[in-house]
A and B are shown apart, each in its own frame.
Chain A
C-alpha cells in the first residue's frame, strides 16, 4: 500500500527535522547570549561520532546519547574559552571549531566505522499502531529523542523567557555592559548558555547517527549545522518558532525525495535546491526589518567596563 504524499512528507519531516530542531534550539540559546557559533556543524559531528562510538563500545544507545550530549557541551566550552576568556573573533573561532569538530569526530569515530548497532529503541503507542494508515509509515514509531523534541523546545522557551536565568541570558545578548551594570557576570552567563547549547547540539548529532542512519561516516552531517544556523534566523531567535522551522526544512528535504519516489517529472537537481532556496527566500523576506533583528549584542566581544 502506498502512503499519501502529505503523510509521507510529514513523516519524513519529523524524522529529519528532529536533529535540526535540537541543533537550532542549541544555537538559539547561544545566540540569545550574544554569541554566534559557526562551529555548530562541528558540534553535530562530534555528537554523532561520540554517540556512535560509545554505543558501539558499550552496547547501550542511551549511554551513547548521554556521551554525545556531554561531548557537545565540552566542545562548546572550548569555544567559550576562545571567545569569552580569550576574546577571540567569534566568526573566525567558530570556523576553526568546525574544522576541529570535523577532525576530532573522524578520530573518535574511525575505529567504529562499520560497527553494527541496534540504535535507540523505538516505541509506538499500541492504539495508534492499530490504524492502517499509521502502520504503513514511520509515523509515531519514534525513539525518545523524537518524543521529547517538542517538550524540550517548550522547556527552552520557558527557560529563556519565563525565568530569571533566561532574562540574564537575553540581557547579556542585548548588551553585555548593561547586564554587567545590573550585577550579572556576562562571562558566566555566556558559558552557561554555551554549555546548554552544546548539550543540545550533541543530541542533534546523536539522533543522526543513533536513530536515523545507524552508521557513522566522516562528515555525515552534510551541512545540517549550517542549515540550523539559518533556521535560527528563520525562527527569529525564538524556540517555539524553531519547531515550525525545523519541520518546514525537514519537510522540504522529505518533499523532494517523496516527489522523486512518486515519479514527479521534475529534475532531482532542481528538487535538491529546495531547502536552500527556502533559506534565501526567508532571509530576503525578513532581512532589514527592525522587528526581526538579531539580539543587539550578537557577535560583539565584551571587554569589561572601565
Chain B
C-alpha cells in the first residue's frame, strides 16, 4: 500500500512539474539515485553513514533525486525494491548491505543501462562495481588515542563475529596503542551476532568489570556499547558513523566513520557524463577517502589530539601498520620482517597480534 501511495505521489509530482514548469524536468533532474539499506538510517551506525553521504551528494550536485528504502531484507525482496526504483527512473543504485550483493547483481543483469555500486562485495560486471573503506589501517590512530588515554592499560573491544576484517581492526588498534604505550592490552569479547543489543551491553559490562577504561567496538550500531560505557564512567571509541559522539558527551575519545560522499559524487558525475566505469574501489583515511576520524571528545588533551592526527596523516600517506615483523599472541611470527600485508589481505586475519587477549577460533 505504501509503495503504491509512493508511486502515485511520485507520478503526481512529475505531472505537476511537467505542467507548471515546462522544461524543468529535463534540466533539473539529471539523475535519480536509488539506495537500499538493511536497517534504519537513524542507527548512528553503518546505514546512517550511507544516508549522510547521499544527502551530501544531493547538496553538491543539484538535480540529483534520491530514492531511499530502509529495512530492505537481504533476499529476493531486495530485487523487487530495486526494480521499483528503476521504474521510478533510477539510473544509479547503491545496494549497501553485504547480503544485497546477489539480488542487486540479478537486477543489474536485467537492466544493463542502470549502474550499480555495491558496498563490501566482490562481484563485478560492466554496470556493477564494488567498493569499501579500508578501516583496518585507520584503526591504528584509534589505538594511539586509546593507548594515550587509558589509565588501567586495559582496552576493551566488542566484536560481533570474528571475521578477518574485524580481527584486522582489532590488530591495528592494538598495534597503534602499543606504539605509544607498551603496556596497553586489548581484550576482545565476541557477542556472536552483529546486532544482539542485550549481549553487547553484557559484553561491555564484562570488559568494564575486568578493568578496561576504554571500549571500542565493531558491531552494526555502536550505540549500546558506547552508552553502557558512558553510564559506568568509562571512555569509548566509536565506529561506523562519526555522529555516534552524541551518545557519550563525557567519555567520547574519538571514532571512525565512513565518508562515502566523495566517492559517491564521483560516481554520480560519471553516470551523468556517460563515462561510468565499474571498478573495485578501496580507499582508506585521507582527504577524499572513505574513512574519516570523528571530532575529539572534551576529555582529550591537545597533545593527544596532535599525536592522533599526525598518526592518521601518516596512515593516509604511506604508513602501513601491518609491516613485519609482526608476532601473534601465541608468539608465532605471522608477518616476517620486510614483508607487509596490503589491502587485499585484510580479510585474511586468523590471529590476534601480541598484546591482544582473545582467540579467533
Q: For chain A residues 3-20, which have a beta carbon within 8 Å of chain B?
A: 3, 7-8, 11-12, 15-16, 19
B223 lies within 8 A of A138 (CB): no
Residue from A212, A221, A265 having most chain B Cβ neighbours under 10 A: A212
A268 lies within 8 A of B162 (CB): yes
Q: For A208, what are the chain B residues with a Cβ–Cβ distance below 8 Å?
A: 197-198
The reply on B195 being an interface residue by CB < 8 A is yes
Q: Mark A200-241, 1 if CB is under 8 A from B, else 0.
A: 000000001000111101111110100000000000000000
The reply on A262 being an interface residue by CB < 8 A is yes
A106 CA to B221 CA in the complex, in Å? 17
The reply on A267 being an interface residue by CB < 8 A is yes
B202 lies within 8 A of A257 (CB): yes
Are A213 and B205 also in contact (CB < 8 A) when A114-B48, A222-B198, A260-B189 are?
no
Residue from A7, A106, A213, A258 having most chain B Cβ neighbours under 10 A: A213
Are A222 and B156 also in contact (CB < 8 A) when A1-B211, A208-B198, A261-B207 are?
no
User: How far is the CB of B234 from the nearest CB of chain A, in Å?
Assistant: 11
Task: Point out the residue from B192, B196, B201 that lies within 8 Å of A15, measured CB to CB.
Answer: B201
B202 lies within 8 A of A254 (CB): yes
A115 CA to B42 CA in the complex, in Å? 8
A215 lies within 8 A of B227 (CB): yes
Task: Point out the residue from A114, A217, A261 that lies within 8 Å of B187, measured CB to CB.
Answer: A261
Task: Point out the residue from B44, B195, B209 that lies within 8 Å of A220, measured CB to CB.
Answer: B195
User: How far is the CB of A244 from the nearest CB of chain B, in Å?
Assistant: 19
The reply on B242 being an interface residue by CB < 8 A is no
Q: For A272, what are the chain B residues with a Cβ–Cβ distance below 8 Å?
A: 190, 192
A12 lies within 8 A of B71 (CB): no
A212 CA to B223 CA in the complex, in Å? 12
The reply on A174 being an interface residue by CB < 8 A is no
Residue from A113, A258, A265 having most chain B Cβ neighbours under 10 A: A113
The reply on A263 being an interface residue by CB < 8 A is yes
* Nearest neighbor of B159 in chain A, beta-carbon distance: A268
B197 lies within 8 A of A217 (CB): yes
Task: Point out the residue from A2, A224, A265, A269 that lies within 8 Å of B211, measured CB to CB.
Answer: A2
Number of interface residues of B (CB under 8 A): 47
Q: For B207, what are the chain A residues with a Cβ–Cβ distance below 8 Å?
A: 261
The reply on B354 being an interface residue by CB < 8 A is no
A11 lies within 8 A of B205 (CB): yes
A113 lies within 8 A of B43 (CB): yes
The reply on B275 being an interface residue by CB < 8 A is no
* Nearest neighbor of B45 in chain A, beta-carbon distance: A114
A221 CA to B196 CA in the complex, in Å? 8
Q: For A1, what are the chain B residues with a Cβ–Cβ distance below 8 Å?
A: 211
Are A217 and B221 also in contact (CB < 8 A) when A2-B209, A113-B40 are?
yes
A19 CA to B197 CA in the complex, in Å? 13
A138 CA to B201 CA in the complex, in Å? 12
Q: Mark B123-136, 1 if CB is under 8 A from A, else 0.
A: 00000000000000
Task: Point out the residue from B40, B189, B190, B227 that lies within 8 Å of A110, measured CB to CB.
Answer: B40
Task: Point out the residue from A19, A110, A114 that lies within 8 Å of B223, measured CB to CB.
Answer: A114
Q: For chain B residues 340-359, which have a beta carbon within 8 Å of chain A?
A: 357-359
Are A116 and B246 also in contact (CB < 8 A) when A8-B209, A253-B202 are?
yes
The reply on A185 being an interface residue by CB < 8 A is no
B190 lies within 8 A of A268 (CB): yes
B71 lies within 8 A of A261 (CB): no
Task: Point out the residue from B42, B48, B206, B227 that lies within 8 Å of A12, measured CB to CB.
Answer: B206
Q: For B44, what are the chain A residues with a Cβ–Cβ distance below 8 Å?
A: 114
Q: For chain B residues 176-211, which have a beta carbon within 8 Å of chain A?
A: 187-193, 195-203, 205-207, 209-211
The reply on B145 being an interface residue by CB < 8 A is no
Residue from A15, A138, A214, A221 having most chain B Cβ neighbours under 10 A: A214
Q: For A269, what are the chain B residues with a Cβ–Cβ distance below 8 Å?
A: 192, 361
User: How far is the CB of A135 from the nearest CB of chain B, in Å?
Assistant: 10
A179 CA to B188 CA in the complex, in Å? 56
The reply on A137 being an interface residue by CB < 8 A is yes
Residue from B154, B210, B357 having most chain A Cβ neighbours under 10 A: B210
The reply on A89 being an interface residue by CB < 8 A is no
* Nearest neighbor of B232 in chain A, beta-carbon distance: A138
A137 lies within 8 A of B209 (CB): yes
A261 CA to B359 CA in the complex, in Å? 11
The reply on B164 being an interface residue by CB < 8 A is no
A266 CA to B358 CA in the complex, in Å? 9
Q: For B70, what are the chain A residues with a Cβ–Cβ distance below 8 Å?
A: 110
A residues whose Cβ falls under 8 Å from a Cβ of B: 1-3, 7-8, 11-12, 15-16, 19, 106, 110, 113-116, 136-138, 208, 212-215, 217-222, 224, 253-254, 257-258, 260-263, 265-269, 272
A137-B209, A220-B195, A258-B206 are known; give 9 further A-B pairs, CB within 8 A. A2-B211, A212-B198, A213-B197, A215-B223, A217-B221, A258-B210, A260-B190, A266-B359, A267-B361
B residues whose Cβ falls under 8 Å from a Cβ of A: 39-40, 42-44, 48, 70-71, 154, 156, 162, 187-193, 195-203, 205-207, 209-212, 220-221, 223-224, 227-228, 232, 246-247, 357-359, 361
What would be 7 A-B contacts, judged by CB atoms less than 8 Å apart?
A2-B154, A19-B198, A212-B197, A213-B200, A214-B223, A220-B198, A260-B358
